[in-house]
């Protein structure tokens, strides 16, 4: 998928969890991505983060270390 579309989709998730009260939003974003994004989508996201993560919401970046790297 295009990087713009991927960034948009990841940011949509981050924006939802950002609005939630309490702690651990970045982890919730990562959990959601781990639960619903297929490995090659997560791989693309991780590559994008490794390349600087342009355009990504801070919560996506903060949760990056919780993102499960595809086997």
Partner 1 sequence: MKDFIIPDDRDMGTPARQGAPVTLTVDGFAVTVPEGTSVMRAAAEAGLQIPKLCATDSVEAFGSCRLCVVEIEGRRGTPASCTTPVAPGMVVRTQSDKVRKIRTGVMELYISDHPLDCLTCAANGDCELQDMAGMVGLRDVRYEAPQSGGLTNHFEARSGGEANPQWMPKDDSNPYFTYDPSKCIVCSRCVRACEEVQGTFALTIQGRGFESRVSAGAMGDDFLSSDCVSCGACVQACPTATLQEKSVIELGTPERSVVTTCAYCGVGCSFKAELNGDQVVRMVPYKGGKANRGHSCVKGRFAYGYAAHKDRILGPMIRESIDEPWREVGWNEALEFAANKLRGLQEEYGRRSIGVITSSRCTNEETYLVQKLARQVFANNNTDTCARVCHSPTGYGLGQTLGTSAGTQDFDSVEQTDVVIVIGANPTDAHPVFASRLKKRLRAGAKAIVIDPRRIDLVKSAHIEASHHLALRPGTNVAVVTAMAHVIVTEGLMDEAFIRERCDWDEFAEYAEFVSDPRHSPEATEALTGVPADELRAAARLYATGGNGAIYYGLGVTEHSQGSTTVIGIANLAMMTGNVGRPGVGVNPLRGQNNVQGSCDMGSFPHELPGYRHVKNADVRAVFESLWGVEIDPEPGLRIPNMLDAAVDGSFKGLYCQGEDILQSDPDTKHVAAGLAAMECVIVHDLFLNETANYAHVFLPGSTFLEKDGTFTNAERRINRVRKVMAPRSGYADWEVTQLLANAMGGDWSYDHPGQIMDEIAATTPSFSGVSYDLLEEVGSVQWPCNEAHPEGTPLMHVDGFVRGKGRFIVTEYVATEERTGPRFPLLLTTGRVLSQYNVGAQTRRTENVIWHEEDVLEIHPHDAELRGIKDGDWVRLNSRTGDTALRARATDRVSPGVVYTTFHHPDTQANVVTTDFSDWATNCPEYKVTAVQVSLSNGPTDWQEDYAAQAARARRILPAAE
Q: Supply the minimum distance, in Å, between the C-beta of residue 8 and partner 1.
A: 7
Task: Give the rounded distance of the alpha carbon of 6 from its chain centre.
Answer: 9
- Taking the C-alpha atoms of residue 25 and residue 17, their distance in angstroms, rounded to an integer, is 6
Segment near partner 1 (CB under 8 A); pick from 3-11, 47-55, 56-64 = 3-11
- The single residue listed with the structure tokens 């993560």 is 53
Could you identify the residue written with the tokens 């309490």? Answer: 22
Q: What is the CA radius of gyration of the chain?
A: 11
Cβ closer to partner 1: 33 or 64?
33
User: Scanning residues 23 to 42, which ones bind partner 1 (CB under 8 A)?
Assistant: 32, 34-41
Contacts with partner 1, residue ranges (CB under 8 A):
1, 5, 8-9, 12-13, 15-16, 19-22, 32, 34-41, 70-71
């Amino acid at each position: 998928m295009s990087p713009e579309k991927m960034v948009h989709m990841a940011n949509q998730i981050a924006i939802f969890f950002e609005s939630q009260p309490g702690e651990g939003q970045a982890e919730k974003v990562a959990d959601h991505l781990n639960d619903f994004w297929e490995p090659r989508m997560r791989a693309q996201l991780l590559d994008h983060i490794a390349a600087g993560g342009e355009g990504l919401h801070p919560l996506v970046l903060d949760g990056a270390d919780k993102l499960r790297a595809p086997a």
